[in-house]
Structures are given as C-alpha cells and as structure tokens.
Amino acid sequence: MPPSAEGESFGRYRLIERLGSGGMAAVWRAVVDGPQGFSRELVIKRVLPLRSHEPEFVQLLIEEARLSARLRHPSIVHVYELGQVGDEYYLAMEYVEGATLAALLLRCAAVGHPVPLGVTCFVISELAAALAYAHELRDADGRPLEIVHRDVTPSNVMVASSGGVKLLDFGIARAADRIRDERTRAGVLKGKLGYVSPEQADGLPPDRRSDIFALGVVMYECLTNARLFQGSGMDTLKQVREARVVPLTTRRPGVDRDVSAVVHRMLARDPKDRYQRCEQVVAALAPLVHRFQGDAGAVREFLKEIDPERAEHTATSIQLRVDDVIPVGAKRPAPVAAEPVAAEPVAAEPVAAKPVAAKPAAAKPVAAKRRRPGDRLLPWYVVAFAGGISLALAVVLVMVLHRSDAPRAPAAAPAAAPAAASAPVHLRLDGTADAEVLLDGKTVGRLPLALELPRLAAGATRALTVRRRGFRSVSRAIAADQDLELTIKLAARPAAPAPAHGPEIENPF
C-alpha cells in the first residue's frame, strides 16, 4: 500500500499531517472519529511498506507495542493500540501539543537564551522519574522486566505547551532476555552515538546506569546549549569511550556548584561512580528544583521568552524522529551551532543609565526577527545552514572591526589615543537583586555586578539582557567603548493562574 496523502483515510483514522519518517516507520498526526461528532487527535506510527514484509522490523514494532502498553506514567507518551491496515502495521500513540527538546535547544541557540537552571532541573527530574518507573517495572508475576530505554536524547523528549514533559520512543528498549539475543549482532550499536554510554561504546550490554549517563548528556546540553559529544562517527565514539567532559563551569561560568556536581556524577565514565538508580537522581535534583523555582509554570514562561508569538498561537504539533539501528562507525554531519541573536526587548520599568567617563552612544534595542503567528521552529538543517552563513559573516565583521581598530593619524588626535583605545572598559550594574545578567547571549553573573571588558571599536555595542524568574526581562544595546554604570529595575510579572488538573481520560476506542 503506498504512503497515504494528507487528509486520506487509514483504517478508521484520518491522516492530517506527516510529522516525520525514518528507515523503519513514518509518523503522522491523525484524528479518529466517534459517535455524535466526537473526535480525538493522536499520532499514528506506521511501518513503511518496504519494511512491512520484513519479519524482523514487524517484530520490533510488536515488541514496542507490548512494552509500551505496560508503561503508564504521566511523563511517558502513552501507546493506545497496535493495529494492522491491509498489510501495514501501526501504533496509535498519544498526541502531545508542543515541541521536542531538541527543537527548543536549537531555538535557544538562535536567540542566545540558555535554558534556565530551574527549567533544566525540572525537566531532567521529570525524565528521571519516568525512567525510574520504567526501570522498576515488573510483569504480572512480580518479576523485574529490567527495561532500559537506551535512546534518551533531546529528540525523544517532548516539552508540552502546558509545561509538562514526556519521554517517548521506547522502540529500542528491551527486557533482559532480549538484550542477551542482541549480543550476537556484532558491529551494531543501538541508540544515537552522541548519547550512548561508555560501556555501550565498548560493546558491553547497557543497564539502567546507561540511561542515567544519557540523561546527564541531555542535562549538560540544556545548560550549555552545545553538544557534549560530536564529530564523525568514530570520533564521537572515541569521545564517549573516554568520557571527555569539559567542566560545566567552563561552558557556563557561574553555574551553581550543586547543579554542576549532579551533572558530572551522572556523566562519570565508570558506571560504579554514577548514581545507581534514577530515584537517586530525582532526590538529588529535588532541592535544586525548589531552589531555582522549577515547575510547569516556569516551563511555560520559558517557552514564552524564547518564542513569544508561538506561545500566543499554540497550534503546534509533535515532532517525532524514527531512527534506525546505527552501525558502529557510521558518519553523520556534525551540527553547526547557530550564531546567538540578541533577545527581543520586553516592556519594563525605565532603565537609568549614567556614564562614568564619557557620554554613551545612543542605545538601540537589538530585536530578534519576529516570525509570523503559527510558524514552526526551523528544522535543524535550516538553522545549521543559517549558522554557517552567520559564522562567515561574523568572521568578515571581525576583520573589518580589526582594521578599524588599527592606529590611524587623524589631524586632531592626541599622541596617547592609540594607548587609550586598548584600555579595558568598566561596566557596573545594579538594580533588581540576584537578576541574571547576559552579555551577547552569555551569562556573566548576577546583580549587583562589576565587570572589566575589552574595549571595542568606537560606536560598537554589546547586547545586554537582565532577567529573573517572576519579572519581565530587559534587553538593550550598550556602548562597548565607554565605561558605564547602569541601574536596572525589573518589573514584576503578574502571577499566572494555577492550571486546573482533572482526572485523566482513558482512550475510549
């Protein structure tokens, strides 16, 4: 049966939108209709026609359905049924309105907005709780199923527009008896190379501590907006085997030490040095979630900050990736980080600026490009391409600025001018206590703050952002060639109403 077009029927489902595909299956947003005009939106994961006649791939889908049917946790995407239309098998799955964590990280890189500590700790804690549930699951006779997800990656995490977190795709997870069978398949590594554990890279069977390592990689990337392990296939595998982890404080200066300690323990090379159970990860994160005010409301606020128009027009769709088994040594193009862009300024109380040494140049807000309502997050390859173009332009700009900084001999210039141009500038900031300060998209500390910065060319500016949970952020351009003293008082945000939680509605079909 050829792939259905959008709007066509597939059994009792209407296929609305194709969300993605891989070498094994295609994923569709669909609707199932009931009596009296009742309908329900869900996701259909179909085995591709080419694979439908291969018993091995059909068996994978059947096992995924059997395993997923046992998983009933609020932070795990539900699988409703396994079905067959003609000679095609499919899974009917829960539809989540939101975006993958991978898409959100790309957006954060594009706007120069790292994921807040509270949001990161909350998201990772929710995922750890979901994994703890799966790891401890038992069969009807009380025997441990010893489930290991083995594919904990940002593309397998959904962040709902409501602020919830969902782990999906247990498609390559296996119970202990299936793991033994797979050892005979030499040269094959399950999962994405940048997120496997060192023991998996060494060809050893994974256990729950492998999921903890992968979760640590995800947390590291949320905090740094950068891939931890990347390169060609073999180079990535080598990095994983050696567990080369740049200290978190190097990638994100000023990060809380307790947060850094949790991340680095999850990323220990020796499984014995990691947390042994996901319940321990949840316990370690609990005080951090509380300290940094991480909850579903913080997630919703974060989504508005990085994409305010999207938050107002929440007609978004799930973005699923269906990946094949990855042969060891397979090469994939390394992603290119997008060049940070200054965040769009938000209305707040006036910012009082008074120059210390000289009158600053007129500040002009640096605004991120606004997208039309309903637009989706850009695919990774579009952002990567744009990032490459931006990098090239940045190099040209640096060369131009370098030339403009070269000593010249204007008629009225004093003899000491070249030496003064190389002197650092001093920036003193005060205002709302403990507010986070970012310069050109990078966190540099919290208010009050005094900085010594390189002096840039005359007329050059830096993008300054000041933000704090519960307050409206302020973004503006400041002179980069003069000493400045700024007082920034953030305006408090109105409290968001608490979401109403009702009983979960089971699938009526």
Q: Which residue has the tokens 């009917």?
A: 92
Instruction: Please give the C-alpha separations between residue 360 and each of 246, 264, 480, 483, in angstroms, as whole numbers.
Output: 38, 43, 9, 8
Instruction: Please give the C-alpha separations between residue 5 and each of 15, 21, 500, in angstroms, as whole numbers.
Output: 8, 14, 38
Sequence-distant (≥ 6) Cβ neighbours of residue 13 within 8 angstroms: 30, 31, 32, 42, 44, 92
Q: What is the DSSP letter of 142?
A: S
**Cα-Cα-Cα-Cα dihedral sign, residues 191, 196, 197, 201:** positive
**13-18 own/partner pairs: CB under 8 Å, 24+ apart:** 13/42, 13/44, 13/92, 15/44, 16/41, 17/317
CB-CB neighbours of 66 under 10 Å:
12
**How far apart (Å, rounded) are the C-alpha atoms in residues 10 and 13?**
5
Beta bridge partners of 174: 148
Residue closest to 93 by CA, chosen among 165, 41, 160: 41
**How far apart (Å, rounded) are the C-alpha atoms in residues 484 and 358?**
8
CB-CB neighbours of 465 under 10 Å:
25
**How far apart (Å, rounded) are the C-alpha atoms in residues 434 and 470?**
12
* Centroid of chain to Cα 188: 27
Burial 207-228 (b: 16+ CB within 10 A, else e): bbbbbbbbbbbbbbbbbbbbbb
**How far apart (Å, rounded) are the C-alpha atoms in residues 321 and 317?**
13
Q: Does the annotation mark 151 as catalytic?
A: yes
CB-CB neighbours of 10 under 10 Å:
19
Q: Find the catalytic residue in 87, 139, 141, 151.
A: 151
**How far apart (Å, rounded) are the C-alpha atoms in residues 333 and 403?**
34
Active-site positions?
151
